[in-house]
Chain A
């Protein structure tokens, strides 16, 4: 079965430091991969997506992610974190023909000043 693993439940970084959130997927075919961000009590906002082509994907808010097929990974990065980036981040993969999204369990990011 398709699955998405986000091994880090909670990460704390200092403002201005770099960030990397890990995501590993299990899916037989070429995956469609997504990163979403969620502020408390809110819906999910799409940060970036990968369908094909260049394996380094640029998104909104200065985020980027790199697709590595050999490692089944799609890690999210940001060179310099801002306090407003504190939120929960979800990695997701489209599975099957019905465009269903399967989500990881999320990583909560805390930013210290």
Chain B
């Protein structure tokens, strides 16, 4: 079945450490997105990519980086510059305007 796979489901980061969240889709969607979810704040856009080898900052890109080397993959790196990384991270993909498909999320915790 087509869908989006996010891994790992749970991730723990030490202070000063970079971590990378994986997002893979087999829907042949052109566009992919990363959202951050915090309680009471809904979902906020971190980065998005409409085509391979191109991506744009969203509303809260500081402390994050992405790459889009393949259509299927859009990994997110949470760098040490992100001072409050504890959150639930959701990856999504879309084709034209026909709705988004979301992954099941990665919960990142700073220890």
Contact = CB atoms under 8 A, between A and B. Distances in A.
A103 B43 contact: yes
Q: Taking chain A's interface residues, is the majority helix, strand, or loop, or is none over half, making it mixed?
A: strand
A53 interface: no
A90 B41 CA distance: 11
Contact of A98 (B4, B50, B92): B50
Contacts of A103: 35, 42-44
Contacts of A41: 88, 105, 107
Interface residues of A, number: 23
A99 B29 CA distance: 12
Interface residues of B, number: 30
Contacts of A98: 31, 48, 50, 56
Interface string A24-51: 0000000010101000011111100101
Contacts, number: 61
Interface of B: 4, 6, 31, 33, 35, 40-45, 48, 50, 56, 58, 88, 90, 92, 94, 96-105, 107
Contact of B97 (A9, A32, A36): A32
Contact of A43 (B45, B56, B90, B96): B90
A94 interface: yes
